[in-house]
Structure 1
Amino acid sequence: MEVGNAMEEEKSRSEEHHVDQEILEEQKDDHILKGKNLPSSKKSAIRDSFDLEASRFTTNQGSSQVGDWKTVMKLAFQSIGVVYGDLGTSPLYVLPGIFPTGIKHNDDILGVLSLIFYSLMLITLIKYVFIVLAANDNGDGGTFALYSLMCRHAKASLTPNQQAEDKEVSNYRLDLPNRRLKRASFVKSMLENSQAIKFFILFMTMLGTSMVLGDGILTPCISVLSAVGGVKEAAIGLTDNMIMWFSVGVLIVLFQIQRFGTDKIGYSFAPILTIWFLFIGIIGLYNFFKYDPGVIKAINPMYIIQYFKRSKKDAWISLGGVILCLTGSEALFADLGHFSVRSIQISSCTLVFPAVVFAYFGQASYLRQHNQDASNAFYSSVPKPVYWPMFVIAVMAAIIASQSLISASFSIIQQSLALGCFPRVKVVHTSSKYKGQVYVPEINTILMLACVGVTLGFKNTLKIGNAYGIAVAFVFTITSAFLVLVMVMIWKTNMYLIVIYALSIWLLELLFLSSVLYKFIDGGYLPLLFAMVMMTIMYLWNYGYRKKYIYELDNKVSTVKLVEIASDTSIHRIPGLALFYTELVQGISPIFTHYVANVPALHSVLVFISIKSLPICTVPLEDRFLFKRVEPRELSIFRCIVRYGYKDARTEWESFKEMLAIQLKDFIRKDVFMSRLPHTTNMDSYESDDNEVSRLRTEEIAQREVEKVDEALNVGDIVHLMGENEVVASKGSSFLKKLVINYAYNWLRRSVRQVDEVFMIPRKRLLKVGMTYDV
C-alpha cells in the first residue's frame, strides 16, 4: 500500500506544469541559494534552494481568535449581533409562507411544525454548528474557504502557481495505509488528473458564492418588509406602498453604517438581538402553555408522513416555505472568519437554537386555535400588552438580521479576490484585533442598490420568499457536496457515516431544492439571474487572470538571461534601490527585458518582488518575505516573494518598506555567513575549528553589503517599476476567445482598482512599463 501511494505521488509530481522542470534547471545553475531563516534543528540544511528553503513554512496560521475563554465569550456575544439576525427573524415570515392560502387541516400545523423542528435540528444544528464549522480553512468559512481547503490538500487550482515553498500547506499528506486512505487517494488523484473536474468544482464554488451574495440582497429585503409590515395590525390605514418606502429608508441607513465595521456593529447590535431572542423564546413558551401544549407531539416525525399523505403535492410545495426557517444557517459558516468556531457553537446552543424552537412551537400552539391568523402568525400571536415593544424590537432585529449575510458577503468577496476569482476591489480591515473583519465599499454599494431595487420591484414578502428559498437551497446543497469531498479526501471519515449524512441531511436539502424550483416563475428566477451575472464576472476575470499568468510563465526571464543583462557594460547602474513588481512567482516577468530594451539603466540594488496569495487564511509575519540572491553577489540583485493569506491586510507602504528593508538586510547577513561556511554537515565542528580572522572577514563582507543597501535607501525614495500590460487574444483565436479577452476581460481590468492601488505603491515614484501579451 505504501509503495502504491508513493508511486501515485510520483506520478502526480511528474505531471506538474513544465515550469517546475525549468525551475530545477535554474537551481542546478545557481544551487548555492540561501535561506532566510535557519532554525537550530535544521542547521545542517545549509544549501537549500529558494523553493526548498521556503518549504519550511509552517501551518501556524490558524485563527488567533480562539484564545482564552474571556476572548471566546466576547466573540460569542458579538456573534449574536452579526451572525444570527437572519435565522432569528425567520419566525416573522415562515408560517405565512407555508400557508399562503390558509390552513386546510388542523393537523397540518403539527406536520409543518415537525418539519421545521427536524430541519433546524439536522441542518442548522448538526450540519452547520457541529460538522461544517469543523471544515473551516484555518479559521475562515464560506464556499471559497472549502474550495481553498481542497486546493491545499490536492492540486485542484487551475492557476499554475503551486511551488515547493507551499508544500507544508498545499500538499496532501499520507497517513498509515488503510481502506479510508485508499479511498481518499483515489478521490485526490481523480481531482488532480481531471481538468473537467477542476473546472466543475470551480464552477460550483462560484455558483455557491454567487448564491450567498444573493442571500445578502434578499435577506435585508424580506426581514425589513416582514418586520415593518407588522404595523398594519395596529394601523390598518397603512398601505403596502407606504410600508415599502419606509422599508427602503431603513435599508439605506443599514448599508451606510457598514463602514464602521463588524466589531462596533457587533457590540451595538448584540444586546438588541439578545433581547429579541429572549422575547421570542418567552412569548413562545407563553403561547405554548396558554393555547395548546399538545403541539409537543410534533416531535414525533410520523406527523410529517401523515402531512404528506394528506396534502400530497401541496405538502411538497410547502417545503419552499419550510426552508425559510433555515435562512441564515449558511451565515454561521460564512461569517466564521469574523469570530471563531467555539464562540459560534456556544451562542448557537445556549441562546439561539432554543429561542427559535420555542418561537415556532408557540406560534403553532396559537394557530391550533386561530387558523384564520396564518397569514400574520407572528404578530397575531404576540400578547396585546407587549405588542408595541415587540414591534419596535422586531424592526430593530430585522435591520440587524440583514447584517449576517452582508458581513458574509464581504468575507467571501475577500476570499475570492485573493484566489484570483474576482476583480480587484478595495478591502478595508475594520478591526486591528480580528483579521477577518472586513468591509468592501464597492460590494456594499452594489448590495444596497440591489436591495432597494428588489424591495421596490416585489413590494411584499411572498415573492421575495420564493426567490430567497432558491438561493438558500442552492447554497445548502453545494456546501454539502463539498463537505462530502472533505470527509472522503481530507478527514477520511468512515464510509458509513458519509452515507448516513448523504441519505439524511443532503437528501433533505435536495428535496428542499426540488420544491423551491417549482416556484421559479413566481420570483424564484431572481437569485439565479443574479448568480448568472456574478458567475459571468467571476469566470471572465479568472479566465483572463489565468491566461495572463500562463503567458508570463511561458515567457519568463531565466536567471542566466537576467545575469547576462545585468552584467552588460552598456547597461548603466545608477545609485538607488528599485523594486520590480510582478504576480509571477516562478521567475522574472518578461516585462523586465522590455523595460531594459527601452531604458538601458538599472539601479545599484534591484529587488524583483512577486506578490503571491496563498490559499490559506493568514501568513505569519516572520514567513511573509522569502529572498533569493541572484549570483554573482556583485550585481546586488535579489528575488523576493511576498506571501499573503486571504485574510491578511495589505499594509501601508511605509510599513511594507520598513519590513522589506529589515528582512533584506537580515537575509544578506545570513546569506554571507552560509556562503563562507565549509561544505560540512557538522555546524559545531565549523564553529570550533574556524579561526577568528575568518569570522571577522565574514562579518566585514556582510556589513559592506548591508551598507550598500543602506546607501541605496538613503539616495532617495525607492523607485517602483511595474508592468502595464495589455492582454489580447492571439491571432487565430476563436471569436468567443477574442470577445472574452479583448473586450470583456480588458473592460473589467479598466473598470476596477489597478495593481498599484492594491499594492498601495506611492504614485510619485512609480514607473509603469507597457507591454502587450498575446495569449
Structure 2
Amino acid sequence: MSKHTNLNKLSAAGVLISLGIIYGDIGTSPLYVFKAIIGDRIISKELILGGLSCVFWTLTLQTTIKYVLITLKADNKGEGGIFSLFSLVKRRAKWLVVPAIIGGCALLADGIITPPITISAAIEGLEIFYPDLQTIPIVLAIITLLFIIQQFGSSLVGKAFGPIMFVWFTMMGVLGIVYIVQFPMILKALNPYYAVDLLINNPGALAILGAVFLCTTGAEALYSDLGHCGRKNIRISWIYVKSCLILNYLGQGVYLWNIQNELLDDRNPFFRMMPDWFLIFGISIATAAAVIASQALISGSFTLISEAVRLNLWPKVKINYPSEAKGQLYVPSMNWLLWAGCLMVVLYFRRSENMEAAYGLSITIAMLMTTILVSVYLKKKKYPNYLIALFLLVYGILESIFFAGNLAKFLHGGWFTVLIGSILFSVMWAWHSARKIKNRFVKFVEIEQYFDVIKSLSEDETVPKFASQLVYLTSANFSSEIESKIIYSILQKKPKRADVYWLVHVDVLDEPYESSYKIEHLIPGKLIRIDFKLGFRVEQKISVLFRKVVEDLVKNNEVDITSRYESLAKFNMVGDFRFVVLEKILSRSNKLSFWDKVTLDYYFILKHFSLSEEKGFGLDLSFVSLEKVPLMVSEYDNVELVRLK
C-alpha cells in the first residue's frame, strides 16, 4: 500500500512515467487527425482555421476539463477506469451496471482499431521514400510481434516508454514551432469563432466533427491509468503534452495554409511538414510512439477484463502475472482475441485513412457512459445539484453531438466496432444476468439447526472418513446461513465425515486492493468459517490465502490440524485437506421464462469455455472433489398419477 500511496506524490519520475504510459493514444493522434478532417475536401482557409479551433476546444473541454480536472477526482483508492468508477457508485442504483458494461465493451471494441491505425499511419510515412511500398505485411508483422511479447510482461520495455514519449512530444512541439514562426497569424485559430463558423456554414459539419473527435479518443485511457501514475503527475504532464499537441496541430495548419485550393490526396501533413533530412528519424520515432500507444491499449484491455472477472461481469479466464510490478498482468484469451481483431482491421481496411472512417464511434458511447457514472459520483460526494446538472447538460450535449458526427461513420466501418462491442456486451450482460437468475434459486438454511448433527457425524467412526479437513466455498453472506445444497452434500449425498469442516466465503469489495479476512468458530474445533475480503483487483488465489490463514490459526492454537489417525498422530503428521466444489447444472425439469432460459443457455455455453470454479478460485486441483448439483428442481403442480393394482 505504501507504493500505491507514493504514486500520488508529484515527482519528475512520476511525470516521465505518465508520459510513457497514458498518452500513447491521444499522443499519436496528430498522425491522422488533420488528414481525416481534410479528407477529400478542397483545402481552404475556413477548413484550416475551423478545424484547428475545433481540435483546440475539444482538447480543452473534453480532455482537460472533463477528464483531467473533473473525472480524475473520481478515484477509487487511487485507481481509475470505468469499472473502478462503477465500483464507487454501484450501490446507488442497480441500473448503473448498464452504463458500466456498455462503456467497458465500447472501450474494448474501439481499442481494437488503435494498434492498426497508429502503426499503419506511422509506417505509411515510408511511402514518401518508397511510393510502391507494401505497408500491410510490415504492419501485420509489428502487431503480431507486439502481441507475442505480451506473455513476457512489458515492465522492461516500459522503462523506456517515458523517455521515448518525451522525445516524441518534444519533436512534435519543435516541428510545430518552426512552422508557427513562419506564419504567426495561425494562432488566431484558437478563437472559438472559427469553430462555430465552420460547424454552422459547412454542409459536412457532422462528418468534420467525427474526424475532430479523434484528437481526444485517448482521454478515457488517461482516466483508466490513474492508478499507474497518480492524479498530480497526470495533471502536470498533461500541460506539456497538450502544449506539444496544439503546437503540432498549428504547425500542420501552416503547412496546409501553403497548399490551399488543392486536394490533400495521399499526403499526410504530419510527415510532410518534416524537413527531408529529418524524415527517416521522424518516421522511426512515430513508429516507436505507435507501438507504445498500442502497448498501453493492450495493457488497459487486460486490466479491464481482470476487473470485469472479479466484478462477475465476465467469465472466469486465466490471468497471468509476468512480473511483480503493479498492474502487470497478462490475459491470454483476451490477448489473442485482440490480436485476431487487429489483424481483421488491417486486412479489411488496409489503409489508415479507411480506419479513420471507423474510429471513434464506440469511444463516444464510452464517454457518454462515463458522463453518467461521474454525475452519480458527484451526487454521492454531495456536490451542488446545479453543478451536477451543468456537467450533465454540457457533456451530454457535447458528446451527443460528437456521437451524431461519428454515427455518419457507421456504414463506412463504424459497424465493425459496434458489432464487436455488441458481442462483448452480450457476454457481459448474460454473465451478469445469469448470476442474478441463479441467486434466485439458491436456498439458504439456518446453519445453527445442523450444529448437533455435524458434530455427531464428525465423531461417528462407523462412517468412513472423507477427509481430515473438509472445505466448502459458500456464497452465503451471513455466517448464520448456509446453502441447503452444502448441507445436503455433507449429510445426505454421501455422508462426509471430517475432523474439521471449513466454510470459505469471498467478498469482493468496491475498493481495489483490500486484502483481509475474518474468522468465526461456529462449532469450536469442528466448524470454522473464513470470510475473505478482497479488492476487485486482488488475485483470488484461495488455496494460497486459505493456507496462510490456517497457518496463522495453528500458530495461535485456535485450531488443531494434526491427523487423528493413530499411526500418523503419534508422529504429529498434518491431516489431509480436501475442497468440495459444487458445480451448478441446469436441470431438465424447471420452470423458467423464455428470456431466463435463453440467458442461462448462453451462460452455460460461455461457462464451457471459461475456467472451472476450482481453477477460477486458484484451488490446487489435486485436493478438489467436484459435485454436480441441479441449479433448481421445480415441481410441477397438479400432476395426476394413478396406481394400478
Q: Normalised by the size of structure 1, how large is the TM-score?
A: 0.76
CA offsets 1:743-772 (integer angstroms, 9 cap, x no match) = 311111121111111222222221122211
CA offsets 1:60-110 (integer angstroms, 9 cap, x no match) = xx7842317888543432332221111111001001111111335213211
Following superposition, the deviation at residue 611 of structure 1 comes to 2.0
Is the CA contact 2:43–2:259 (under 8 Å) kept in the aligned structure 1? no
**Partner in structure 2 of residue 591 of structure 1:** 485
**Partner in structure 2 of residue 386 of structure 1:** 278
Q: How far apart, CA to CA, are the structure 1 residues paired with 2:147 and 2:217?
A: 20
Following superposition, the deviation at residue 626 of structure 1 comes to 1.1
Q: How far apart, CA to CA, are the structure 1 residues paired with 2:52 and 2:487?
A: 70
**Residue from 449, 453, 477 that aligns with 1:564:** 453
With over 3 angstroms needed to count, the CA separation of the structure-2 counterparts of 1:376 and 1:426, relative to structure 1, is: same
With over 3 angstroms needed to count, the CA separation of the structure-2 counterparts of 1:69 and 1:537, relative to structure 1, is: closer
**Partner in structure 2 of residue 357 of structure 1:** 246
**Residue from 59, 63, 86 that aligns with 1:124:** 63
Matches within 5 A, 1:184-199: 191=93, 198-199=94-95
Secondary structure of 2:334's partner?
helix
Following superposition, the deviation at residue 407 of structure 1 comes to 1.6
1:138 is aligned to 2:77: yes
Identity across aligned pairs (percent)? 28
Is the CA contact 1:726–1:770 (under 8 Å) kept in the aligned structure 2? yes
Is the CA contact 2:563–2:576 (under 8 Å) kept in the aligned structure 1? no
Matches within 5 A, 1:518-667: 518-552=408-442, 554-556=443-445, 558-568=447-457, 572=463, 574=465, 576-586=468-478, 587-596=481-490, 597-620=492-515, 624-631=516-523, 633=524, 636-651=526-541, 653=543, 655-665=544-554
Is the CA contact 2:561–2:575 (under 8 Å) kept in the aligned structure 1? no
Following superposition, the deviation at residue 487 of structure 1 comes to 1.2
1:83 is aligned to 2:22: yes
Is the CA contact 2:583–2:629 (under 8 Å) kept in the aligned structure 1? yes
Following superposition, the deviation at residue 728 of structure 1 comes to 4.3
With over 3 angstroms needed to count, the CA separation of the structure-2 counterparts of 1:67 and 1:366, relative to structure 1, is: same
Secondary structure of 2:631's partner?
strand
Following superposition, the deviation at residue 397 of structure 1 comes to 1.1
Q: For 2:46, give the aligned amino acid.
A: D
Q: How far apart, CA to CA, are the structure 1 residues paired with 2:263 and 2:139?
A: 23
Following superposition, the deviation at residue 657 of structure 1 comes to 4.2
Following superposition, the deviation at residue 414 of structure 1 comes to 1.4
Following superposition, the deviation at residue 507 of structure 1 comes to 2.2
Q: How far apart, CA to CA, are the structure 2 residues paired with 1:465 and 1:607?
A: 57
With over 3 angstroms needed to count, the CA separation of the structure-2 counterparts of 1:750 and 1:577, relative to structure 1, is: same
Q: How far apart, CA to CA, are the structure 2 residues paired with 1:590 and 1:663?
A: 30
CA offsets 1:217-236 (integer angstroms, 9 cap, x no match) = 01001111111111111111
Secondary structure of 2:286's partner?
helix
**Partner in structure 1 of residue 229 of structure 2:** 339
Q: How far apart, CA to CA, are the structure 2 residues paired with 1:382 and 1:289?
A: 15
**Partner in structure 2 of residue 257 of structure 1:** 149
1:722 is aligned to 2:611: no
CA offsets 1:281-322 (integer angstroms, 9 cap, x no match) = 1111111112x21111012111112223331x3123200000
Following superposition, the deviation at residue 515 of structure 1 comes to 0.8
**Residue from 447, 464, 467 that aligns with 2:355:** 464
Q: How far apart, CA to CA, are the structure 2 residues paired with 1:345 and 1:563?
A: 62
CA offsets 1:393-443 (integer angstroms, 9 cap, x no match) = 111111111122212111111111111110001222344342x33221111
**Partner in structure 2 of residue 23 of structure 1:** none
Following superposition, the deviation at residue 606 of structure 1 comes to 1.4
Aligned length: 617
Q: How far apart, CA to CA, are the structure 2 residues paired with 1:501 and 1:600?
A: 61
Is the CA contact 2:43–2:263 (under 8 Å) kept in the aligned structure 1? no
Is the CA contact 1:66–1:342 (under 8 Å) kept in the aligned structure 2? no
1:322 is aligned to 2:212: yes
**Partner in structure 2 of residue 452 of structure 1:** 343
Q: How far apart, CA to CA, are the structure 1 residues paired with 2:322 and 2:114?
A: 23
CA offsets 1:361-407 (integer angstroms, 9 cap, x no match) = 11111111123474411111112121110011111111111122212
Matches within 5 A, 1:250-329: 250-290=142-182, 292-311=183-202, 313-329=203-219
Is the CA contact 1:429–1:649 (under 8 Å) kept in the aligned structure 2? no
1:441 is aligned to 2:332: yes
**Partner in structure 2 of residue 759 of structure 1:** 617
1:224 is aligned to 2:119: yes
Q: How far apart, CA to CA, are the structure 2 residues paired with 1:69 and 1:542?
A: 33
Q: Higher helix share goes to which structure?
A: 1
Is the CA contact 1:729–1:738 (under 8 Å) kept in the aligned structure 2? no
Following superposition, the deviation at residue 111 of structure 1 comes to 1.1
Q: How far apart, CA to CA, are the structure 1 residues paired with 2:38 and 2:498?
A: 74
1:211 is aligned to 2:76: no
With over 3 angstroms needed to count, the CA separation of the structure-2 counterparts of 1:65 and 1:97, relative to structure 1, is: same
Unaligned stretches of 5+ residues in structure 2: 565-571, 634-645
Q: How far apart, CA to CA, are the structure 1 residues paired with 2:354 and 2:476?
A: 48
Q: Normalised by the size of structure 2, how large is the TM-score?
A: 0.90
Following superposition, the deviation at residue 538 of structure 1 comes to 0.8
Following superposition, the deviation at residue 262 of structure 1 comes to 4.5
**Partner in structure 2 of residue 185 of structure 1:** none
Aligned-CA RMSD value: 2.4
Following superposition, the deviation at residue 649 of structure 1 comes to 2.5
Secondary structure of 2:585's partner?
strand
Q: How far apart, CA to CA, are the structure 1 residues paired with 2:113 and 2:320?
A: 24
**Partner in structure 2 of residue 516 of structure 1:** 406
**Partner in structure 2 of residue 93 of structure 1:** 32
Q: How far apart, CA to CA, are the structure 1 residues paired with 2:370 and 2:626?
A: 42
Is the CA contact 1:66–1:72 (under 8 Å) kept in the aligned structure 2? no
